[in-house]
Structure 1
Amino acid sequence: MLEQYDLSNLMVLDIETVPQYSNYDDMPDALQEHWAHKTQYQRKDDTPKEFYDRAGIWAEFGKIVCISVGIFTNSGGNRPGLRVKSFAGHDERELLADFSKMLCSQPLSLILCAHNGKEFDLPYICRRMLINGVTFPPHLQIQGRKPWEIPHLDTMELWKFGDYKNYTSLSLLTAIFNIPTPKDDIDGSQVGYVYWVENALERICTYCQKDVVATAQLIRRYRGEALIEDESIRIV
């Protein structure tokens, strides 16, 4: 499947998010009240403070610290390649503005693709852009468009084949499609700690880039094509 798409016109992306504040006590009192109300069903027996390490999941209480993108290329001799770039930093508004500027320089026909991107990555980016006063690039302007006019692909949605009860992680799909992925020293649940406690943004970028590569390789598998070789993947 996906044979109808020109891979050179497709951009793969992934984001990493963290809580807006380093700890619960730094959050303004008004937001603490909203946090308690917003998470009352998810946190079960945890107090709002104990549950705060999950705040990065919600755009109202988190922020983006890295957006990594990948573009399919030819690396010579018609060999498939991938070029990966990250937008990362402590200033979220600057990060989002740079990402928006990059997208605005791309053709309007460009298709954005992410794993669970329609439920998480793309809405999160839009919400944080709105909060930070960053102008939406045309590729994220979906209001008023018919579903088939929206230039977004979601590798998790594609795997559902219409089954709305199904959630399949990127990690599981890479395993069943025999896509080799290096063992990471962190996982998604640890990103907030790595950012706020260890101040290791570079590690987070590496983790984010690996998800972009894994998603790109999954697209190749969906199309019944060979994987991109490691030497043809370039980080810029």
Structure 2
Amino acid sequence: MSRPKLVATDLDGTLLDADGNVSDGTRAVLRELDAQGVPVVFVTGRPIRWMESLWSEVGGHGLAVCSNGGIVYDVDAQQVRSAATVSREVAMVVADLLRSEIPGTHFALEKTTGFARETGFATRFPDIPDIPTGSFEAIYDDAVVKVLALHTELAPEDYWRRGQALLEGMVEVTWSSSFPLLEMSAPGVTKASTLAELCAELAIDAADVVAFGDMPNDVEMLEWAGQSYAMAGGHAVARAAAREIAPAHTEDGVAQVLRRLFDL
């Protein structure tokens, strides 16, 4: 198996441990790859605001793909390099369809400028101050990179399957949470599409990329990369998409594989 030229890794359930941190063992591997000049790209569904504590793990430089491919972030400059936004026209049609076909749906928005939520959208972080809140139509603007839809009663996978079937071709619909939350990006925008564009700029072929993931939002990336690993215990669709299975994230599975691939 050839030595990869770039490492692309999801975070939650993949690179991070059970507490959502980078373990000492994984940190040591990332720093050695950095010293060898091997790019490590975080490719995550997380918004930028959930990344601040992790930038140092990629040496405080390089690029990260956030919001399921919606944003390429320049870590060194601490700024958005590019964004793939969801048009207002499409989003309004999507919202109307989900409200009518799956009643009980409420919305929030991930933007290049932060987070906003519809009045009925519950959040896991109710104490965050100054979150713009209002009607979907009022909070929407041209900075939206991901539309979030929450349902409080349906099972997560059932909600995802129904939303995916309903909105096929209009937006990219995926899911990466333990609760019923749809993540919707602009048509054609996935972790894989943005990673492919980034690798093209770096003159790195898909065959020379190793990718790691664990959930449905990682599927396209795992299929695209020349070497790919789903985490043991990850979602079945991710395991089916990957070429190999890595040890669980609770066992530093990514680090274990990288030590072998790079003879660390």
Q: Could you say which TM-score interval applies, normalised by the shorter chain?
A: 0.3 to 0.5
For normalisation by structure 2, the TM-score amounts to: 0.31
Higher helix share: 1
Which protein, 1 or 2, shows the higher relative CO under an 8 Å CA cutoff with sep ≥ 6?
1
For normalisation by structure 1, the TM-score amounts to: 0.34
